[in-house]
Structure 1
Amino acid sequence: MKRFFSLLLLMFSTTVAGGAHAEKADFEKPTNVEANQMAYDDVKQINTFTGNVILTRGTLVMHAQKLTVSQDPAGYQYATLLAAPGGLATFRQKRDAGPNQWVEGQAERIEYDGKTEIVKLFSKARIRRLEGTKPTDEVEGEFISYDSRAEFFTVNNTPSGENKVGGGRIKAVIQPRTESKGK
């Protein structure tokens, strides 16, 4: 169970754009999961939370209709967050990039691969970096993949992760950086 909670924090402990990491103090906080139901299969190493799932650990808050975590024989863990029909799974976490810096994301499905340390957001995917409540950068597409080891992300126009002609457009908004005078 301890590995399960470590995975969930690790899953969203890096920002998708820019290389600034999530608040380090979150690693020292307890993890709380609320859901309508939980099932754990010790033989298959699968833990499933369903029904209005809310996970909190320090500044990290995740919402989904269903959260499934599995572990392979080598001990690597994999997690999937699923939204309710017509909804979105979400996460929000403070970043160590400075005071009041946040990252938030949403998609119909969010997956984390503990072996490769890659986070994938499928269908109606969006990642935003914020300073307080003001967005600083934002990317949208049908698929976003983030490699936390390489601090590299891609945004594609189909939920399969491929770019296809006629498959839609991606969107990126990059705000100008201004330095505050008097700091």
Structure 2
Amino acid sequence: MAIKYFAAAAALLLAMGASHAEKADSYKKTEIEYDTADLDDVKQIQTLRGNVVLTRGTLKMKSAMAVVTQDAEGYQYVTLTGAPGKPATFRQKRDGAGDQWVEGEAERIDYDGHIELVKLFSKAKIRRLEGSRPSDEVAGEFISYDSRKEYFSVRNTVTGDSKPGAGRGTMVIQPSSKRVPPEGAVQPEAGK
């Protein structure tokens, strides 16, 4: 059962394509909107609450609360925490042809600005979009997403471990848009 799950996850990773997160985002300034903030300049910790929106180039993260830290080299690390019933989210344009995006949600999201790694904890989902049309999607209790390599790792516990019987992930892989349906086949409605 676990082998089938990981084989399906590998298939999704291949289906997600070879394009990467927008490379130019790494060199953009970070803008943060919030309702309240507590800033500790000595420890380089900013705690932001209330409708937090963090934007860096095409990367946009939203949450009820965010803790932003910065290391001595200037790299930023962000922990976003959702509110009950409202998960933390992120969205980022992908390099490559067309209007391609990746977006995700979870109860908690950790973002490592140094290596551009996103970790999603508890009720995690990541989906690829072509314009506004959802394409492929993966869900699990923990997802690690390396935006530089377009590499996903999905586990069945919020700790990032996989344990027998702890739960199962799900995946949706859309048919290739390059295939032409047979003549007379019913076309699905947009967004379905």
Q: TM-score range by the shorter chain?
A: 0.7 to 0.9
Give 1:29 deviation, angstroms: 5.7
The TM-score, its normalising length taken from structure 2, stands at 0.74
Q: Distance in 1 between matches of 2:160 and 2:25?
A: 31
Q: Distance in 2 between matches of 1:98 and 1:163?
A: 35
Change in Cα spacing, 1:94 to 1:148, as seen in structure 2 (3 Å) is closer
Change in Cα spacing, 1:28 to 1:111, as seen in structure 2 (3 Å) is closer
Cα root mean square deviation, aligned: 2.5
Q: Distance in 1 between matches of 2:27 and 2:146?
A: 24
Q: Distance in 2 between matches of 1:59 and 1:73?
A: 25
Q: How does 1:12-31 map to 2 (within 5 A)?
A: 17-24=16-23, 26=25, 31=30
User: How many equivalent pairs are there?
Assistant: 165
| 91-100 or 120-129, which deviates more | 91-100
The TM-score, its normalising length taken from structure 1, stands at 0.77
The AA in structure 1 aligned to 2:65 is: K
- Residue in 1 that maps onto 2:161: 162
Q: Highest Rg: 1 or 2?
A: 2
Give 1:114 deviation, angstroms: 4.2
% identical aligned pairs: 61
Q: Distance in 1 between matches of 2:68 and 2:158?
A: 21
Q: How does 1:34-53 map to 2 (within 5 A)?
A: 34-53=33-52
Change in Cα spacing, 1:57 to 1:44, as seen in structure 2 (3 Å) is closer
Change in Cα spacing, 1:63 to 1:99, as seen in structure 2 (3 Å) is same
Q: How does 1:28-177 map to 2 (within 5 A)?
A: 31-73=30-72, 75-148=74-147, 150-177=149-176
**For each residue in 1:81-105, what CA deviation from the matched residue of structure 2 results, as whole angstroms up to 9, or x when unmatched?**
1101232001122222222211111
Unaligned 5+ runs, structure 1: 1-16
